[in-house]
Structure 1
Amino acid sequence: MPNPSSGYRYKRVLLKVSGEVLMGDQGFGIDIGTVESVAEAVARVARQGVEICLVIGGGNIFRGVSKAAAGLERTTADYMGMLATVMNALAMQGALEKMGVQTRVQSALTMNAVAEPYIRRRALRHLEKGRVVIFAAGVGAPFFTTDSGAALRAAEMGCDALLKGTSVDGVYSADPKKDPSATRYETLTYHDVLAKDLRVMDASAVALMRDSGIPIVVFSIREDDSLEKVLRGEGAFTVIQSGARSDG
């Protein structure tokens, strides 16, 4: 539902941020300046009445231990990745609460000392009270990515859109960092993404958003005010939804 008072297109959104974004210019780990920058963007829209929840990947931390995990079975490595997302969630919570924004972390893995367990009704109540909810540990099971976790939580929360904040300003026909001739799509259908294997999100996440009728908006979280601009329908981004026509 639109939010006319703020000029925003959506009232409730889930923001998915890749763990790599939180690295900043580092090789791995958490760059506090980048975390604070993302937190400030989230805080601004939350203060204007947008109900916002987050899912943060764990690639920035897991990259540092990936060599150690290479010799482990997939399930163990996946659980290590889930723990990395909890660390990122706590870092984001700390940054948001420093800014005076009430925040709750809910984890799909039980760890009562640092986070609430994921309970759908409780999460909905937090959103209704204006709190930012950060979902950690994916879906709590191996073989599922944080993209799938984000799509699942967006559907469960009844979000108006799933916003994917990345390092590029949308979906391109090829990797724009490697191919300067790559073109950016303004709009795509879910079918386009799956048929062209564009790898915006994993296929199961895209299919769930298609079945739930929730648009996916891909934009660059690194740009100033990009989150606010996307919510107003301004700036550069790609919208993936039913019935859209691709530009390329």
Structure 2
Amino acid sequence: MNFIDTHCHLLLKQFDEDRQEIMKKVNEELDLLIEIGINVETSKNVVDFVKNKEKIFGTVGIHPTESEGLKETDLDEIKELSRKPKIVAIGEIGLDFHWETNKQDQYKSLDTQLDIAKEVGLPVVFHIRDAYDEAYNFLQKKGLSEYKGVVHCFSSDWEKAQKFLDLGLYIGFDGPITYPKNNKLREVVEKTPVERILPETDSPFLPPVPFRGKRNKPTYVKYIYEKISEIKGIDIETLKEIIKSNVEKLFFNKV
């Protein structure tokens, strides 16, 4: 059994020069990869990209930093795209207060896309940055569909992680769990039930050790597996089986 990257951006310009070469490696080293949409245009590209690729699935959605001035037609388009073949989630959506964008537009975009997820019966890939309390409070009031979701690239502490786990969500871990000074995040990995963990790369961003400062690639997800394996004291082959089951439950609704 090979590895699974549950969150990457192969369609971004950083892969324009060698995408085919990267894809060859993906086919050799990964069992499955999920390509993530961040706005209407990229979501359309995701739908086209995943069509004839056996191992690649996709999501469609509008990233919180892309939500300013959204039109009703943009959200209608996301709903239409979400029904296309091989689209397994709405995302990445959420709240990002790190950058200066209109917070009300972010809330509106998140609210509407959660309704879309519920209507079409898909889980959600959440992007949350510098807004964990706000996102938790919103989701607690809003309520989540039975299909749940994942907090992608989790970067806060165990207290916050526990709240999202209590909502029934999975936690996504990326390259930062390998960074030497990130003990707080490794504590979250240690305490999160392995049945609720999803390894990700977020390629081309957040490369793990030993590739910091370079472009991240989907195949580097093996370093995330290795670190989770080390922290949890679970051998890598057993971890692969558990992660495969987690992915099937969340994204493919398999019990």
Using the size of structure 2 for normalisation, the TM-score is 0.34
More helix per residue: 1 or 2? Answer: 2
Using the size of structure 1 for normalisation, the TM-score is 0.34
Q: Which has the higher contact order (CA 8 A, sep 6+)?
A: 1
